[in-house]
Every structure is written in C-alpha cells, then in structure tokens.
Amino acid sequence: MVAFLNRILPFSFMIAALDFVSGSEAMFADLCYFSVRSVQLTFMFLVLPCLLLGYLGQAAYLMDNHSGAEQVFFNCIPTGAFWPILLIANIAALISSRAMTTATFSCIKQSTVLGCFPRLKIIHTSRKFMGQIYIPVINWFLLVVCVLFVCSIASITEMGNAYGIAELGVMMMTTVLVTIVMLLIWQINIIIVLSFVVFFLGMELTFFSSVLGSVGDGSWIILVFAIIMFFIMYIWNYGSKLKYETEVKQKLSMDLMRELGSNLGTIRAPGIGLLYNELVKGIPAIFGHFLTTLPAIHSMIIFVCIKYVPVPVVPQSERFLFRRVCPKSYHIFRCIARYGYKDVRKENHQAFEQLLIESLEKFIRREAQERSLESDGDDDNDSEDDLTSTRLLIAPNGSVYSLNVPLLAEFKDKSEPISEASTSEEVKPEMPVDSTNSDPEQSLERELSFIRRAKESGVVYLLGHGDIRARKDSWFIKKLVINYFYAFLRKNCRRGIANLSVPHSHLMQVGMTYMV
C-alpha cells in the first residue's frame, strides 16, 4: 500500500493544489458567486478526492522518511516536479488569500448589520450580487496584521501551531452552531443530536487539548487576536444597545406635545427642518433638546430616518415613506428614506429636497383622498382603524411593499394612540387656518400652499449627536467600558451622516448626552 501511494505521490500534489482552488472558491458560496448545488458537487467529486490523495501521499512519505516531517510538503516532491509544484503552490496561496480577504469582508459586514462591530465604509462592487463588497479599512488592516504576523514568527513550526489552533477553533465553533441549527431549525431527534455532539465535538476537543501545549510556541498570537476582536465586538454591542434603549425610554410623549401646543412652546420660524435620527417611531428626545436650546423652531419639522434595504437600487418614486406624527396643525411628519446598496447618497441636496417635498405633497393628496372616501360611506370603527393604518404606511406612488422588504413593520405600534396620526377633525386645532372642515379641497390646498411657502423659506438639516456616559454611581468597569472604550470606538467609526452632501450654511448640529 505504501509503495502504491509513493507511485501516485507526484499526481497527488497536483491534485492537492487543485483542492486549494476549489476549496477557496467554495468559500464564496455565501457571497453569491456560485449556487449551492455547484458547491456541493465540487466538494463531493473534486475537493474530497483531492484531500484524500494529497494527505495520504504525504502520510506515505512520512512512513518511509521519518526525518522529513519538518518540511514534508517540499521534501517529498520529486526533483523534476519541484518548480512546477512551487508555482502551483504560490498560485494557490494567492487564491487562498483572496478567499480569506473576501470572507473577512463578509463577516465584518454581517457583524455591522447585527450591531456587533463599528460602522465602516463598505463599497459594493456589483449591482447584481449584494455579497460582493470591499472594505478599505479592513483590507489595510489585514495587510498590516499579515506583515506583523510573518515578522514575529521565528519558524514554520510556530506558524503551523498558530494555524492549527485557529483551524480547530473554527471546527469547534462550526459544530456548536450546527448543533443549534439541528435543535431549533431542523428539530432533529435529541438522541441523534447528542450522538453528533459527542462524536464530533469530543474528537475536536481531543485535538484541541493536544495543541494547547503549544500556546507559548506561536499559538498565543491567534488567541490574543481573538480576545481583542471579542472585546471590540462586545463593547460596541453593549454600548450601542444601551444607547438605543435610552433613546427609546426618553422619547417625548404625545401628552407633552399637546401641552406645548401647535407652536411647541416657542416661535415657529418659516422654513423646513429635517431632523435626522435613528428612531422609526415616536418623537426622539433630541427634538426636545432642540426646543430647549434654540429660540425658535421651523414651521415644518420632518423626522428623517435612513434605512438601507437589500436591493440594488430603490426607485425615486418609492424612496420616501411618510406618516403624520402629530395633528395637522403641528405640521410634523416622519419620513423613512430608503436606499439600496448601490444607490449613490452624495446627490445634490437641492434635488434631494425637491424630491422629498414632491413625495410629501403626494402623500398629503392621497391622505385627503382616503379621508374623503372614509367620510363618504364607511362608518365602521374597525374599517376606520384599518384605513388609518394603511394611510400611515403609504408611499408616494401608493405602493408600500413593492420592494418586498419587511421594513415598516415597526410602524404598527399599538402602544401609541391613533390620534398621533389623526387630522384636525379629531383634535381641536389651535391655529385658525385649520379651523374649517367644511371644504376638504380648500383644506388640502391650504396645507399644500403652506408646504410650498415653507420650502421657499429654506430647508435646514438638523443633526443631533447623541452620546452616552456612565452614571456616577455605576461600577468602575462600566465607567471604563462606556466612557473610554466605547467612546473611542464611536469617535473613530464611520458616522451615519457621512454621506450627506449638505453645505455648512444649511447645517445645524446639537449634541446631547444620555446618562446610562
């Protein structure tokens, strides 16, 4: 058997080199490069035979040459095949490095979406596949780390130890995740799941315990890197979760808005204020900070929330979704601005404002049309509630779910009263201009005229920078994490308004600190 394996050794190296190509390309399956079936067939009929032939050939060489274990791959290559194999090995290394880089981009992107990693600049290189991305910061980071890793490694043995502990860590994590999928999604019999865990995880833990003795001989680099990445992800997720929960708890109530009245307790200056925030429902606390900081507020306020949807391009007719936040006399709206991953955000601000105002006018016209139909023949309360809910989620072209994106489910908040989106018929108005309900057409024209006058007065972008600080009575560790580590990450990450192309004369920023 050993003699036979020695005969096929040169061919096993050629085939083993091919397994680098197939294996690395198969890693792109979750990046939309290949279909699931093609990856399955490649692994079964190409990768598996290549691995078996390659590793059995090396094992056969070691059985006859115990002294060649240090450089088994190159020592067992026949003299005439050395340079071709070296060329193929370098090509395989290039392909493997590309696979690692692309996989890193994908992992970072998914971690950012889950709120477990600071925001970075992501460039989508394809209009067809969402998974094909490029992250410049991570690309340079990998370059620096690879150079430092190579410079700090003293021998190939240390590199092998580091690779071994990383590979075994991936195998154990994969086994744990597959076990969770088997229990929660596939719902396989518990006995089969336990048998799977005992066999595979037990074998992997045995191998892992054998490499723990080499921690001081190169493996420590991988462990230190893993610990650093874990703390970055944990701190960012912990701080972001605290910030969002605090913003939700400190939302302004509708009762407070009614007490302030349609003038919001201050002077309503002509113009439109676009207040950017991350909340999709409720009145953000940063708006109250604007009211207490500024001597006047714009006659029309629009809360703008930017959402990215998993489609390449969002048509301009479906870009904005509107709803009323307060009674009509308050002139306060909420706008969801939807962008695809290939949409260019650095558009001219004047074109953006014009499209937003046109979409708002279409929303108001359709709202008046539905209110007219409602008052004509439908007095049923259930139908009225359904119609109100439909009116809240309307798009400028009347199509809400045309993108097939479940983005607006959060709008249906049963805890908020329907009067938040009601009209002047439901809440007694305070402005004489809206006191007449006898002619809906005149009321509609008055509101549209009010919007046009506000647009002519100017549009100002109101940006609120919310920050968090630990309370004085908090634990020392919490103060250290929030006030220093999370603050450092937040200061150096990509801000959500980085793509706004707004002149400074149209920009107003106010900072606010949340104590958590």
Strand partners, 296: 267
The Cα 407–Cα 258 span in angstroms is 29
The DSSP code sequence of 233-255 is HHHHHHHHHHHHHHHHHTPBPHH
Q: Which residue has the higher pLDDT, 418 or 122?
A: 122
Per-residue confidence at 378, pLDDT binned at 50, 70, 90?
low
pLDDT of 345 reads 62
φ and ψ at 499, to 5 degrees?
-90, 0
Of 125, 496, 129, 118, which is closest to residue 310 (Cα–Cα)? 129
Whether pLDDT at 238 is above 90:
yes
Q: Which residues contact 22 (CB under 8 A, 6 or more apart)?
A: 42, 43, 46, 47, 50
Helix or strand run (H / E) with residue 292: helix 285-293
Name the token pair of 110.
Answer: 């998914």
Whether the CA torsion 250, 254, 256, 262 is positive or negative: it is positive
**Residue ranges of E strands in 190-266:** none
Residue type, 259: E
Report yes or no on whether pTM surpasses 0.75. Answer: no
pLDDT of 6 reads 47
CB 266 within 8 A of CB 291: yes
Mean pLDDT of the region 276-289: 84
Q: Which residue has the higher pLDDT, 205 or 413?
A: 205
Q: What is the DSSP letter of 494?
A: P
Of 386, 307, 376, which is closest to residue 345 (Cα–Cα)? 307
Among 70-74, 332-336, 487-491, which is the least confidently predicted range? 70-74
pLDDT digits (tens, 9 = 90+) for 213-222: 777 777 788 8
Q: Radius of gyration (Cα) for the chain, nearest Å?
A: 31
Per-residue confidence at 194, pLDDT binned at 50, 70, 90?
very high
**Residue ranges of E strands in 431-492:** 459-469
Mean pLDDT of the chain: 76
pLDDT of 20 reads 45
Whether pLDDT at 193 is above 90:
yes
Q: How far apart are the first and last CA of the chain?
A: 69
List own/partner pairs for 52-55 with CB under 8 A and 24 or more apart.
53/8, 53/11, 53/12, 53/15, 53/16, 54/12, 54/13, 54/15, 54/16, 54/19, 55/16
pLDDT of 408 reads 35
CB 138 within 8 A of CB 104: yes
φ and ψ at 446, to 5 degrees?
-65, -40
Domain-by-domain residue ranges, the chain? 1-132, 253-515
Whether pLDDT at 170 is above 60:
yes
CA angle 102, 103, 106 (to 5 degrees): 90
Among 31-35, 61-65, 193-197, 248-252, which is the least confidently predicted range? 31-35
Q: Which residue has the higher pLDDT, 36 or 498?
A: 36
Of 279, 238, 264, which is closest to residue 468 (Cα–Cα)? 238
Sheet holding 320-324, edge to edge: 320-324, 332-339, 296-308, 267-276, 459-469, 507-515
pLDDT digits (tens, 9 = 90+) for 86-134: 888 888 888 778 878 888 888 888 888 788 898 888 888 877 776 778 8
Name the token pair of 111.
Answer: 């971690």
pLDDT digits (tens, 9 = 90+) for 427-437: 333 444 444 44
Whether the CA torsion 404, 408, 413, 416 is positive or negative: it is negative
CB 200 within 8 A of CB 175: yes
Nearest 10 degrees: CA dihedral of 137, 143, 149, 151?
A: -130
